[in-house]
Chains A and B, each alone.
Chain A
Amino acid sequence: MADAKKDIEKKEASNPGQVERTRQRRVYTPDVDIVEKKDEMIVIADMPGVDEKSVDVTVEKNVLTIYGKVDAGIPENHKLLLSEYGMGDFQRSFTLSDEVDKEKIQATVNNGVLRITLPKAELAKTKKIQVKAEGIGGMMNLNN
């Protein structure tokens, strides 16, 4: 694999503002891709163990928060012999700019991958601005 050297260890989520969680368990930061398209932004998060029932996507005061509850799924009566990754929930927050139309946000989960579509508000859609070359008259003015 190309990026095998990359740090594959799961990163535990930091706790912004020292706010404590009610559930006592590990919380990890999901790896995320954010893609900007012409009319929308796409947030894709790897959240293995999460399905449509156990994921929460909320937008409050311009902050998009994703939270996925993961059922540890420990095999019954089995002992952990080798542990390379930890099990826990996923959480991550992003600040959205005003250009996102918050009413039209959509989210899907497939095979443990959360995909959020954030449509751009009409005003924020990229408009191409025609750049005009200034005439020689303008240049003349500089010399005055």
Chain B
Amino acid sequence: MLWSDFEKLGSFLDPLSEFERMNQAISRLSAPVTVEFPAVNVWVSGDHAVVTTEIPGLDPASVDISVVDKTLTLRGARRPEDLKEGEAYHRRERWSGQFTKTVELPFAVESGRVEARLLKGILKVSLPRAETDKPRKIAINTA
């Protein structure tokens, strides 16, 4: 806590809100610091991985997905609103521009069987593990 925080004396009257504030400060510290846009979640089950990301406002044609070995690359762009003369932003928080995101997967992927769906602004890429990458059972020969 900073000494300057003592200026906010009002918040000390409510210990619960003070606790909440500290709690938020701590959870901010533990969150990943450098996440490249767009943030992704990677789900894994055995020989299958699912990558999800939130890219609202993009149509499927403007998203480019490529897989090479273990690396998934997502590319896309979103244009800002077209404003005519006399129109102005009161708030402008939404992102616009181009992005490239690479995600390292835990195994090599069968690129021919990758499926992607973009639904309600959430992209979901389904990635099966490559046959050649799967561990092979080695039979032991008895002499």
Contact = CB atoms under 8 A, between A and B. Distances in A.
Given A34-B91, A50-B120, A113-B57, A8 B50 contact: no
Contact of A81 (B32, B44, B54, B58): B44
Contacts of B103: 82
Contacts of A34: 89-91
A108 to B, nearest CB: 12
Contacts of B94: 31-33, 44, 46
Given A35-B87, A111-B121, A1 B32 contact: no
26 contacts: A1-B97, A1-B98, A4-B37, A8-B37, A8-B38, A9-B31, A12-B24, A33-B81, A33-B93, A35-B81, A35-B83, A36-B89, A48-B54, A48-B56, A49-B122, A73-B122, A73-B124, A75-B43, A77-B45, A78-B45, A81-B43, A82-B42, A83-B41, A85-B40, A85-B54, A113-B57
A20 B131 CA distance: 50
Interface of B: 16-17, 24, 31-32, 35-45, 48-50, 52-59, 81, 83-84, 86-100, 103, 106, 118, 120-122, 124
Contact of A84 (B16, B35, B122): B35
A48 B120 contact: yes
Contacts of A79: 43-45
Contacts of A32: 91, 93-94
A109 B126 CA distance: 25
Given A48-B56, A84-B40, A111-B58, A78 B91 contact: no
B97 A3 contact: yes
B82 to A, nearest CB: 10
Interface size range of chain A in the complex = 35 or more
Given A34-B91, A35-B87, A75-B45, A44 B81 contact: yes
Interface of A: 1-4, 6, 8-10, 12, 18, 31-38, 41, 44, 46-51, 73-75, 77-85, 87, 110-113
Contact of A1 (B40, B42, B84, B95): B95
A38 to B, nearest CB: 6
A74 B43 contact: yes
Which of B43, B44, B99 has the most C-beta atoms of chain A within 10 angstroms of its own C-beta? B43
